[in-house]
């Protein structure tokens, strides 16, 4: 069965361009009986943390990968996951991707996602389907031009879809629903994946937003961004203002998670350093401790290449 994209678009440039360790062990053991896996390819922020690539999450269903965001390092992280045994993430298999918003840290790996899989054996033989906010079509066109990639070459064919809230994609494995979130002036989306055995919600970058609660509503997995109050207190007032305006603090996330009631809360895109090289000792531990002080649900701090 062919996928059913819901999109709004026009032809452009020769392409059809349309609109903690115990918990981890338990999660890995559970995966043996699940058709759906969540693989964290990148959990970082715009900072140059060498241990955390830019935001990217893979939802793998019946051996088929679906990406949410393509931050820096996305294809290499997919390759690393493949080498660790997630065979679905062999880079030429990356054919469907969703973009939460067009900020650089979530989208700068787009060119690599188009280009790099074409350099491997077993080349991608189908068009890359990308679903994102307004501007995704234009971004695609300019990337192809900037890197002198022939839009008629099947190795680099991209169908870019600009989405609105609602169901944006459906095939035999998944139904993907986009919903609006609040991230400053950016048009930003979260996504809910319904698979045969799990419901997964990914917040993208957002302040606390009712739509996340509504779309989780007891979901199996909620992947949500957060910053700790300890690191918030360690940064200058202008950085504090940006975090309040654009992101979610640990107390705010606790309140949201109590209402959303996920089976597992995974924290990613952690704004946990007061600038690289300074800040709070053991920021990951501090972030988890702040959550667990008042939240009794199951929660982990996500790290690159973990599978749930």
Mean pLDDT across the chain, nearest whole number? Answer: 86
203 part of a folded domain: yes
- What is the model's pLDDT at position 174? 98
294 part of a folded domain: yes
Domain, as residue range, for 231: 10-301
5 part of a folded domain: no
Does 137 have pLDDT greater than 90? yes
Does 166 have pLDDT greater than 80? yes
Residue 48 to residue 35: CA distance in whole angstroms? 34
Residue 105 to residue 184: CA distance in whole angstroms? 15
Q: Residue range 148-170: average pLDDT?
A: 92
220 part of a folded domain: yes
- What is the model's pLDDT at position 32? 46
Task: Find the CATH number of the domain harbouring 33.
Answer: 3.60.15.10
> For the whole prediction, is pTM greater than 0.75?
yes
- What is the model's pLDDT at position 78? 97
Query: 276 pLDDT band (50/70/90 cuts)?
Result: very low
111 part of a folded domain: yes
Does 28 have pLDDT greater than 50? no
Does 124 have pLDDT greater than 80? no
Does 119 have pLDDT greater than 90? no
Q: Residue range 1-14: average pLDDT?
A: 40
Residue 299 · residue 291 · CB < 8 Å: yes
Least confident of 85-99, 141-155, 230-244, 246-260: 230-244
- What is the model's pLDDT at position 121? 64
Does 22 have pLDDT greater than 90? no
Residue 56 · residue 69 · CB < 8 Å: yes
Q: Residue range 122-151: average pLDDT?
A: 91
244 part of a folded domain: yes
130 part of a folded domain: yes
- Our count of domains for the chain comes to 1
Does 152 have pLDDT greater than 90? no
Residue 129 to residue 96: CA distance in whole angstroms? 5
105 part of a folded domain: yes
Query: 205 pLDDT band (50/70/90 cuts)?
Result: very high
pLDDT in tens, 59-91: 999 999 999 999 999 999 999 999 999 999 999
């Amino acid at each position: 069965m062919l996928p059913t994209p819901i999109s709004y678009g026009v032809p452009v440039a020769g392409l059809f361009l349309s609109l903690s360790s115990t918990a981890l062990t338990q999660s890995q053991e559970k995966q043996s009986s699940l058709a759906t896996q969540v693989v964290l390819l990148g959990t970082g922020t715009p900072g140059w943390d060498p241990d955390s690539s830019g935001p990217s999450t893979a939802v793998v269903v019946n051996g088929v990968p679906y990406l949410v965001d393509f931050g820096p390092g996305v294809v290499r992280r997919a390759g690393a996951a493949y080498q660790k045994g997630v065979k679905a993430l062999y880079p030429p298999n990356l054919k469907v991707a969703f973009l939460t918003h067009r900020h650089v840290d979530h989208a700068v790996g787009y060119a690599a996602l188009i280009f790099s899989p074409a350099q491997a054996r077993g080349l991608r033989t189908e068009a890359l389907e990308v679903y994102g906010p307004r501007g995704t079509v234009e971004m695609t066109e300019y990337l192809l031009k900037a890197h002198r990639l022939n839009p008629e070459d099947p190795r680099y064919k991209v169908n870019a879809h600009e989405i609105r809230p609602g169901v944006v994609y459906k095939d035999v494995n998944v139904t993907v629903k986009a919903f609006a979130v609040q991230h400053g002036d950016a048009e930003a989306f979260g996504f809910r994946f319904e698979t045969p055995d799990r419901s997964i919600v990914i917040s993208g970058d957002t302040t606390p937003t009712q739509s996340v609660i509504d779309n989780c509503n007891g979901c199996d997995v909620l992947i949500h961004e957060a910053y700790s109050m300890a690191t918030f207190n360690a940064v200058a007032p202008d950085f504090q203002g940006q975090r309040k305006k654009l992101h979610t603090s640990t107390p705010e996330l606790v309140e949201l998670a109590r209402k959303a009631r996920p089976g597992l809360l995974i924290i990613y895109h952690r704004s946990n350093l007061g600038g690289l090289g300074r800040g709070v000792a053991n920021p990951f531990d501090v972030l988890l401790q702040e959550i667990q002080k008042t939240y009794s649900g199951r929660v982990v701090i996500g790290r690159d290449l973990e599978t749930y």
